[in-house]
Chains A and B, each alone.
Chain A
Amino acid sequence: MFRVVLAELRKLRRPTLVLGTLGAALFFAALVTSFLFLLIDSADGNGDRGRTIGREVLTLASGSVTGFSSVGGLLGLIALCVFAAQTAQEYTYGTLRNLLVRQSGRLRILGGKLIANVIFAKIMVLISAAVSIGISIALAPGAKVTTELWFTSAGWSAIIHTIINVVIAVIGYGIFGMALGLLLRSPISSISVGVLWMLIIENLLGAVKESALDWLPGSQLNTIAIGGSETISYTHAMQVGGAYVIGISIIAAVLFSRRDVAN
């Protein structure tokens, strides 16, 4: 397993992938965090879907990571794309047969691939968190937000909890991407289906029947990233989201371990 992780990391560290992924992650982290402070007095709101997050929220101990927790879903989508592409490309390039000849334990290949991608995603999350918090510190004075509580012990605890929640959500998204990559065996198809479902279909279903969001996977993962919401509790999101992730992981693992590698 350890050798599989190292081999996967060799593939993941190529500059175009690292810079492309980090570029997208940092762009969204900077954008969402900047809007939070720059549009604090806007009548159209400064949060997602026109929500207003006022100074009273941003001055709390968790204020430094309010922006970062909002970007968790987008980081998750980036992870979904990376995990899906890294898995499905083994089929489109025909490289899976090389991997299986060198390491015939298919579940070891899958496990190693997952661990390497999780390491990659964690690095992406940590750098995005640092950038988002840095932007928050820089923009807080201009937005007349006091930062006194941000780096108290409660503030540090909020930072750590938020990062952990975003990492859990991002890994959940990534596992969905990986499973789609294994099921569809094409990077374009798996990314399209994943993004379409998470960004559009779930929102449409939620618009038709709001209570549906309580049970949809993307909604649960977003809720985990922000540490729970008014409508979905953190525990509920962890239980339902976890069940989805475990379910799709089992299906993908069984298919991968039994399916003939004919391309």
Chain B
Amino acid sequence: MSTMAISVRDLSKKYGDRMAVSHINFDVPLGAVCGFVGPNGSGKTTTMRMLLGLISHTGGSGQVLDASIDEPEKYLSQVGAMIEGPAFYPALTGAENLKVLATLGGFPIERVQTLLDQVGLGDRAKSKYKTYSLGMKQRLGIAAALLPNPKLLMLDEPTNGLDPEGIQEVRALLRSLADNGTTVFVSSHLLSELEIISDYLVMLRKGEVVFAGKIEELLLAQQNVLIVKGQNPGDLEKILGIATSMGHSATIRNGEVHVQADADWAATLNRAAFDAGITLAQLTPQLPNLEETFFEMTGDK
């Protein structure tokens, strides 16, 4: 028995001449919460679809729960998934929708109400799906993914449409599932959320893996950043020039200059800016975080 829930080697998917996923390699250990991040179109959903047997791969190989992704019937009964958002029959109630899937998967029907209660939809179980808000649809999708009591849970943007309280609840739910041994493989645009709950991270860019490993290793490898703003917004380019001329990598993002430098270099930069006739309105050191790292590594501003 392998210690990996997911393991892919050189996995690729080609549509015509376009490589949607190109020779990716990564492992997700059993029992881990693994964040799956990348800009739109980077191949996250395509990878998830391949792992679930929904689309064929054009190269490489993959293992899910010790079975090849060429034989999804061997592992899907132990996998819960919600990809590309929730999808249900609008004319059926939330409970009926789950009962259809429970019947199909051979899971106890009694589990439906328990799961609806768990995701906070217990009192709307008999409402038709088409009357649900986006957040409620998302919760129903999570409930459907939990139907098999999965060993591996794959969720694509599970917090889409949820309010802050809902996001917190999903975070707690995923953490508790992981604590009970479920492996969680989750993609999200809320990088700060992933940073809180994830142990591992797989980062994609243009169909290629740019990082796969422990999240703390990624953050440790990153430099601290100074966030700099001039009193005059037109000084951003000048500040960028000063920083780069002094050997530091810098970018302009959201009306701020992000300079890769330790906090003790702030005084040097302040002095150089002053000498250049620039008054700084902000000079804040920031420890590396997933969002900064994501932008650095994917080049997505």
Contact = CB atoms under 8 A, between A and B. Distances in A.
Interface stretch (B94-102, B159-167, B193-201, B207-215): B94-102
A95 B89 contact: yes
Contacts of B91: 14, 16-17
A194 B103 CA distance: 31
A133 interface: no
Contacts of B53: 100, 104
Interface string A1-38: 00110110011001011000000000000000000000
Contacts of A101: 52, 54, 76, 79, 81
Contact of B103 (A7, A14, A100): A7
A14 B108 CA distance: 21
- Provide the main secondary structure of the chain B interface: loop
A115 to B, nearest CB: 14
Given A93-B88, A94-B87, A101-B81, A11 B54 contact: no
B11 to A, nearest CB: 15
Contacts of B83: 97
Contacts of B84: 94, 97, 263
A80 B146 CA distance: 35
A183 B84 CA distance: 23
A103 interface: yes
Contacts of A261: 49, 54-55
B49 A104 contact: no
A3 B56 contact: no
A143 interface: no
A43 interface: no
Contacts of A4: 104
A261 B144 CA distance: 19
A17 B92 CA distance: 11
- Provide the main secondary structure of the chain A interface: helix
Contact of B55 (A14, A95, A262): A262
Q: How large is the interface on B (under 10, 10 to 19, 20 to 34, 35 or more residues)?
A: 20 to 34
A102 B89 contact: no
Contacts of B49: 97, 260-262
Nearest to B72: A104
B105 interface: yes
A95 B88 contact: yes
A98 interface: yes
Interface in A89-115: 89, 93-95, 97-105
B54 A102 contact: no
B260 to A, nearest CB: 39
A11 B56 contact: no
A93 B54 contact: no
Contacts of A94: 84-85, 87
Contacts of A97: 49, 52, 54, 83-84, 87
A103 B72 CA distance: 9
Given A104-B76, A261-B49, A11 B100 contact: yes
Contacts of B81: 101
Nearest to B45: A262
21 contacts: A4-B104, A6-B103, A7-B100, A7-B103, A7-B104, A10-B100, A14-B91, A14-B96, A89-B89, A95-B88, A97-B54, A97-B83, A97-B84, A98-B87, A98-B144, A101-B79, A101-B81, A102-B76, A260-B55, A260-B56, A262-B55
Interface of B: 49, 52-56, 72-73, 76, 79, 81, 83-85, 87-92, 96, 99-101, 103-106, 144, 147-148
**Shortest 7 CB-CB contacts between residues of A and residues of B:** A94-B87, A260-B55, A7-B104, A102-B105, A7-B103, A261-B54, A104-B73
